[in-house]
Amino acid sequence: MTNVRFDFGNIMAPALEGGVGEDLFGGAMVDAFTAAHAAVETRRSGGDLGFLDLPHASETVEQVKALADGFGQWFEDVVVLGIGGSGLGAKALRDALLGPYWNDRSDEERDHFPRLHVVDNPDPATMRGLMERVSPARTLFNVVSKSGATAETMAQYLFVRQQVEEAVGAEKARGHFLFTTDPANGALRRIGDAEEIPMLPVPENVGGRFSVLSPVGLLPAAICGVDLDELLAGAAAMETRCRVAELSQNPAGVLASLLHHSDVTEGRPIHVLMPYSDRLRSVAFWFQQLWAESLGKARTVTGQPTATGPTPVAALGATDQHSFLQLLMEGPDDKVVLFIEVENHGPDAVIPGRHPEIKELAYLGGHSFGELINTERRATAEALRRTGRPNATFYLPEVDPAALGQLFMLMQIATVYAGALYGVDPMDQPGVELSKKLTYGLMGREGVEAPDLLEPDPRWML
């Protein structure tokens, strides 16, 4: 397996004017990281950080593979119903590893693996459109909810369940569902137990946004033929690399330390993840949730009020060079840009040499698209460096399961280090709960009081 590499040279002085000095590996940042590392190790031994063990959860992986093998042969479409951490990982895996246009390909082009849809938003147009597109009789619905109670996902389940029953009858409908949920608790678990619907567990100590390498991400990937062993081997290798206490040897430690420093010391709280690959666009959205929901907190771990947390932004190169780059280059100097470069894009597309007489086109001839997109990434990184804007790059040897496994693990470990550096708990999300509770109350859930909402004030309405 080739390592994913992390090049942070464009954050360091003297390459970057005013950048971080060599004391990164010798001064206060090392002391802070040493304490963060120790805090994370304590939580790991206390069993809090279940995501670190997922690469070695062989029993569950075998269970996933067995279900995927059985189901994959039967269904033309697989629909994941899940939101936040219960949907973003599956999307990231699908888009990265199945490649563009997967769902548009013929059965033969997909080697008879099913199409894969990940539906998170309870948008009526999407829900109606979904059921018009798939044939319920040939579709498997993987309902994913750790809590088994999230309004969006439960509403989607009720909607599709009704339609599947109408299409195939109540008895057969059960065979079109697979639940991924808490191993013991929640409404979904209760329904699954009562109706003997197959279920996969989200380990109790694995939270939504840290669940991509649990059955939440693994089942949809496996059912479409992704090699889980390679994915998990990549994650395991990165977990080993990031276990060391020495900052200079720990990629997740360096990532967390530099981004934390950029925020609290340099006034750069906006962290942009910008892969130069369409296949990795959804990874940027996955990271956006991971970084935001884990680090944006009102209280420290000791209960002190704080209002901390960086703002992650998902972008895409080269597309966003034509929308976002102007702001990155010349707008407020409050951002760090993290690029992802794919070193080998796989089968490339060569740009034909036509119009040798037109200089605006002639230079492109004979180069490939892989060369062009990577050159644009390098040019953008250099332009940012020249204007004193910090940036760093993850190099993926290729977009394959091993590299994805490494990247997911690197970012998750960096998130728990960053939590320790900020002094907050990256594993909870109390801020999300209020909107869920208000929704339950407004929608009439028993036992939840309906809140009074302010009526719109006509003075402020045009």
Residues designated as active site:
293, 322, 436
> Which of residues 80 and 237 has its CB atom nearest to ligand PA5 in the complex?
80
Q: Considering only CA atoms, which of 267, 315, 266, 264 is closest in space to residue 288?
A: 315
Number of residues engaging ligand PA5 in binding (CB under 6 A): 15
The residues, ordered by sequence, that sit 6+ positions from 80 with a Cβ below 8 Å of its Cβ are 87, 90, 116, 117, 118, 119, 142, 144, 220
Question: Residue from 203, 207, 309, 312 that binds ligand PA5 (CB under 6 A)?
Answer: 207
Binding piece for ligand PA5, criterion CB under 6 A, among 43-51, 124-132, 207-215, 223-231: 207-215
- 262: closest CA among 39, 19, 27? 19
Of 18-26, 142-150, 317-325, 337-345, which segment contacts ligand PA5 by CB under 6 A?
A: 142-150
Helix (H), strand (E) at residue 219: helix 215-223
Q: Which residue has the tokens 């090049």?
A: 7
Write b or e for each residue in 383-407: b if 16 or more Cβ atoms lie within 10 A of its Cβ, otherwise e: ebbeeebbbbbbbbbebbbbbbbbb
Which residue has the closest beta carbon to ligand PA5?
208
Cβ-based nearer residue to ligand PA5, 19 or 310: 310
CA distance 431 to 293: 9
Closer CB to ligand PA5, 157 or 339, in the complex: 157
Closest CB to ligand PA5 among residues 299, 367:
299
Q: Give yes or no for residue 142 binding ligand PA5 (CB under 6 A).
A: no
> Minimal distance in Å, beta carbon 283 to ligand PA5?
16
Q: Is 209 in the site for ligand PA5 (CB under 6 A)?
A: yes
Q: How far is the CB of 307 from ligand PA5 (least distance, A)?
A: 20
Residue 145 as a binder of ligand PA5 (CB under 6 A): the answer is yes
Q: Which residue has the tokens 């086109």?
A: 361
CA distances from 271 to 122, 189, 268, 333, 391 (A): 29, 38, 8, 12, 10
Taking the CA atoms of residue 215, residue 216, residue 219 and residue 222 in that order, the dihedral angle to the nearest 10 degrees is -100
Provide, rounded to whole angstroms, the least separation between the CB of residue 100 and ligand PA5: 26
Residue 218 CB, nearest approach to ligand PA5 (Å): 15
Work out the burial of residue 145: count CB atoms within 10 Å of its CB; fewer than 13 is exposed, 13-18 middle, 19 or more buried: buried
Q: Does 288 bind ligand PA5 (CB under 6 A)?
A: no
Tokens standing for 73? 């042969």
**For ligand PA5, what does the binding mask look like between residues 64 and 103, x meaning CB under 6 A?**
-------------------xxxx-----------------
Q: From the CA atom positions of the chain, what is the Rg in Å?
A: 23
Tell me, residue by residue from 378 to 417, as one string, x for binding to ligand PA5 by CB under 6 A and - for no binding: ----------------------------------------
Question: Which of residues 361 and 442 has its CB atom nearest to ligand PA5 in the complex?
Answer: 442
Q: In this structure, are strands 199-201 and 177-181 parallel, antiparallel, or unpaired?
A: parallel
**Two structure tokens written together for 51:** 């995501």
Asked whether the CA dihedral 115, 285, 413, 201 is positive or negative, the reply is negative
Closest distance to ligand PA5 from the beta carbon of 194 (Å): 20
Q: Which residue from 293, 320, 341, 425 is in contact with ligand PA5, where contact means CB under 6 A?
A: 293
Which C-beta is closer to ligand PA5: that of 93 or that of 402? 93
Nearer to ligand PA5, 160 or 396 (CB): 160
Cα atoms in the 13 Å half-sphere on the side-chain side of 93? 36
The least CB distance from residue 160 to ligand PA5, in Å, is 16
Report the chain's terminal Cα–Cα distance, integer Å. 60
How far is Cα 406 from Cα 417, in angstroms, rounded to an integer? 16
And the tokens for 455? 């009526």
From 40-48, 166-174, 203-211, 410-418, give the range in contact with ligand PA5 by CB under 6 A: 203-211
Question: Out of 43, 115, 117, 146, which residue is the one contacting ligand PA5 (CB under 6 A)?
Answer: 146
Output the smallest distance, CB 197 to ligand PA5, in A.
17
Q: Which is nearer to ligand PA5, 20 or 424 (CB)?
A: 424
Q: Tell me: does residue 312 bind ligand PA5 (CB under 6 A).
A: no
Residues that bind ligand PA5 (CB under 6 A): 83-86, 145-147, 150, 153, 207-209, 293, 429, 432
